[in-house]
Structure 1
Amino acid sequence: MKEMIAAANGKRKKIVLISFGSSLLIGAIALLFYLDYKATHITTDDAFVEGNIHTIAPKIPGTVVAVHVRDNQMVKKGDLLVELDEADYAARTTEGEAAVNAERGRLAEQSSRISARQANLKLQEANLRQAEIDLRRAEKLFQEEAISKERYEKTRTAYDVTVAQVQVAREELRQASSLLSAQSASIREKEARLKKAELDFSYTKLRAPTDGLVTKKNAEVGNQVQPGQALMAVVPLDAVWVVANFKETQLEKIRPGQKVEFAVDSYPGKQFTGRVDSIMAGTGAAFSLFPPQNATGNYVKIVQRVPVKIIIDKNSDPDHLLRVGMSVLPTVKTSEK
């Protein structure tokens, strides 16, 4: 009986030892796997989805006469979003076109006058050349006493008159050219005003700058709006990325191109993938509105965080589930070089 009890106790001890040894071995293996995972995977909970937010704002003041979209509606690039009252801007465009056309008419008339002045100057210069020839001949004949003094004086007077006519013709051409230059400057000014009026007219229609989702709509028919006033925003859901703020002590092993897996609270159990794109040139604190000044006072060292941009794989989010501002839990596989 005692032998049977001793054998049973020995067997139990052996089982306990085996169980303890197995548990210890399993724990050691688990610890090795954990340490290996920690050595090749870096994670942070300080990460968010970011993207381009295109604010839709008018460039001119006006009254909203039509809103063609609703909140959270998908739009395509070029889709009409909002219309402003165009009556005043259409009138300015028509007025500008009339002013430009009138100035062009005056410019054409002045160009014709210049052509006439140029022709008259050429005629007077030809008359002057002939008058010079006549004067030289008359001077020679007068010296030879072949003509009377009266005839010579008459030829001399005709020459002087021709010289005066040439001077008058030149002055008329100069004045006409100056007026043409002034009119040319005037038409350029009116054309600039017309272009401005046409631009303002085009600004009465606000269109989507890109494909995306309309959000934060703040425009209703009848609203008086001012330049720069945000009416809505368009967010392209196919162009979002993740910014993860890793501790500076974690950056040693992070390299561009490394694979990243991440999850978001909105879709538990769903994994997204991406790649490390780049590491910011400074810490988040260095680029804050009021960066810390540590030159004076007692200094307490705080581990800084550096933003890391993560590009999301295109096939990772085909349904565009990710939204700007969502919290992300990314894990960088540092084993990849």
Structure 2
Amino acid sequence: MEKETEMVSKVLGPDEETKTEKPKSRKFMVVMIIILLAAAGAGVYWWYLLQTTISTENAKVVTDISDISFRVGGRMEQISVADGDKVAKGQELAALDREQYRIAMEQAQAALDLAKANYARLPYDLQSKNMAVAKARDQVAIAGTAVSTAQIAVNDTQRVLSKNEELFKSGAISEESLNTSRSSYEKAVAALESARFSLQSAQISLRDNQQQEVAADKTSEPALLAGVKQAQAVYDAAAYNYNNSILKSPLEGTVVRTAVQVGETVTAGQTVLSLACPDNTWIIANIEEKKINRVHAGQGVEIRIDSYPGKVFKGSVASVGDVSQSTFALFSSESTSGSFTKVSQRVPVKISFDNQGLALKVGTSAQVKIYTGK
């Protein structure tokens, strides 16, 4: 090989060899310049992206999840849906044992009917008391007349007795006639006393009936009306408990969790089912605190979701959180020794987007690129 090179050199000579090497060096330089320019361009582009976008894989699909519970407690008798079922607003989800609530409602209904009947009878009761007063007044009048009549009889028999006593002294009448007139007088006095007693009794009866009439006018209606209202309140509470022993969906969504089983005893407010609303989904992206001041509502966002590889969703920043992600964490990232160790915090950013009608799984991972423009 060396011999061949020497032979070429001898044939071409020194000048010819130099001319052959120059084009090769020039091509190499051109290639190197192109590579350097491409690298510089890529670097500039990468720098530009870093300045105008913020990217993170710390993001996930989120939706409203509502915990559904009974407003009353009892034994779970039926669960009508299962995890993954789609439910409509107002659809029956579960039911408690309703027997105790049915009995309580029927008892309350009976008490309410009785209270209403007593209130409805009030005018007749008042009329009856008015009639009793009128009758008592008549008795007083009759007794008064009887007293007057008895008093006249006493006066007459007393006058006859006085006259007969004078006649007896003069011997004009017998002792038997005198005794007869005396007996008549005593009977008249006894009749007067009896009439006076009857009058007094009639007056007492009238006073009592008048007092009852006044009391009925003042207290019966308010008391009976209060009884109706109380019975109505008891019935309303019983009906409320009975009606709420069936659990109905307050919204349209998908069952994502069943927390209890048939036969269990649940309390009011205890979670029975959890419903998600897949049509109302958004992205929560946790952005580093040193970058968060570049993020503002309305900025465009490019979203990729792991469960739909290759598909790109368009969205925008809806809001930026006011506190870091760890503020309400169950376990604090701060040291319990009293010393502070700086830990890079992340702030949640809510991103709204068009899910293109896809049934996105809540909690699945996503990658986002926020176009900050600066």
Fold equivalence (TM over 0.5): yes
Q: Which structure has more helix as a fraction of its residues?
A: 2
- Alignment partner, residue 357 of structure 2: 318
Match among 35, 59, 66 for residue 54 of structure 1: 66
Counterparts of 1:86-97 in structure 2 under 5 Å?
A: 86-97=98-109
> What code does the residue aligned with 2:246 have?
K
Verify the 8 A CA contact 2:62 2:281 in the aligned structure 1.
yes
1:236 and 2:291 are equivalent in the alignment: no
- Alignment partner, residue 69 of structure 1: 81
Tell me by how many angstroms 1:257 deviates.
Answer: 0.8
Q: Distance in 1 between matches of 2:128 and 2:322?
A: 71
Counterparts of 1:243-258 in structure 2 under 5 Å?
A: 243-258=284-299
TM-score under structure 1 length normalisation? 0.77
Match among 92, 95, 113 for residue 83 of structure 1: 95
- Alignment partner, residue 343 of structure 2: 302
Q: Distance in 1 between matches of 2:370 and 2:130?
A: 82
CA deviations on 1:162-198 (whole Å, 9 max, x unpaired) are 9x96896365323443233223222222211111111
Q: Distance in 2 between matches of 1:115 and 1:294?
A: 84
Verify the 8 A CA contact 1:261 1:330 in the aligned structure 2.
yes
- Alignment partner, residue 127 of structure 1: none
SS of 2:284's equivalent?
A: strand
Q: Distance in 2 between matches of 1:206 and 1:25?
A: 69
**Structure 1: gaps of 5 or more residues:** 125-157
Q: Which moved further from structure 2: 284-293 or 232-241?
A: 284-293
> What code does the residue aligned with 1:331 have?
K
Tell me by how many angstroms 1:108 deviates.
Answer: 1.3
> What code does the residue aligned with 1:320 have?
A
Tell me by how many angstroms 1:291 deviates.
Answer: 6.1
Closer, same or farther: CA 295–58 of 1 in aligned 2, 3 Å: closer
Match among 326, 343, 347 for residue 285 of structure 1: 326
- Alignment partner, residue 31 of structure 1: 43
Q: Distance in 1 between matches of 2:339 and 2:95?
A: 58
1:108 and 2:124 are equivalent in the alignment: no
Closer, same or farther: CA 19–119 of 1 in aligned 2, 3 Å: farther
Closer, same or farther: CA 296–221 of 1 in aligned 2, 3 Å: closer
Tell me by how many angstroms 1:37 deviates.
Answer: 1.1
Tell me by how many angstroms 1:21 deviates.
Answer: 0.2
SS of 1:236's equivalent?
A: strand
> What code does the residue aligned with 1:77 have?
K
Q: Distance in 2 between matches of 1:112 and 1:291?
A: 75
Closer, same or farther: CA 111–247 of 1 in aligned 2, 3 Å: farther
Tell me by how many angstroms 1:7 deviates.
Answer: 2.6
**Structure 2: gaps of 5 or more residues:** 1-11, 136-198
1:189 and 2:230 are equivalent in the alignment: yes
Q: Distance in 2 between matches of 1:23 and 1:119?
A: 121
Closer, same or farther: CA 290–120 of 1 in aligned 2, 3 Å: farther
SS of 1:56's equivalent?
A: strand
TM-score under structure 2 length normalisation? 0.70
Tell me by how many angstroms 1:8 deviates.
Answer: 2.8
Closer, same or farther: CA 166–279 of 1 in aligned 2, 3 Å: farther
SS of 1:46's equivalent?
A: strand
Q: Distance in 2 between matches of 1:275 and 1:120?
A: 86
Q: Distance in 2 between matches of 1:249 and 1:237?
A: 33
Match among 303, 306, 313 for residue 262 of structure 1: 303
Tell me by how many angstroms 1:243 deviates.
Answer: 1.7
Q: Distance in 1 between matches of 2:211 and 2:301?
A: 82
Verify the 8 A CA contact 1:81 1:207 in the aligned structure 2.
yes
SS of 1:70's equivalent?
A: coil
The number of equivalent residue pairs is 298
Identity %: 25
Closer, same or farther: CA 221–302 of 1 in aligned 2, 3 Å: closer
Tell me by how many angstroms 1:332 deviates.
Answer: 0.8
Query: For the aligned residues, what is the CA RMSD?
Result: 3.2
Tell me by how many angstroms 1:296 deviates.
Answer: 8.7
CA deviations on 1:299-323 (whole Å, 9 max, x unpaired) are 333332221111123xx331222x2
Q: Distance in 2 between matches of 1:311 and 1:238?
A: 12
Q: Give the greater-gyration-radius structure (CA).
A: 2
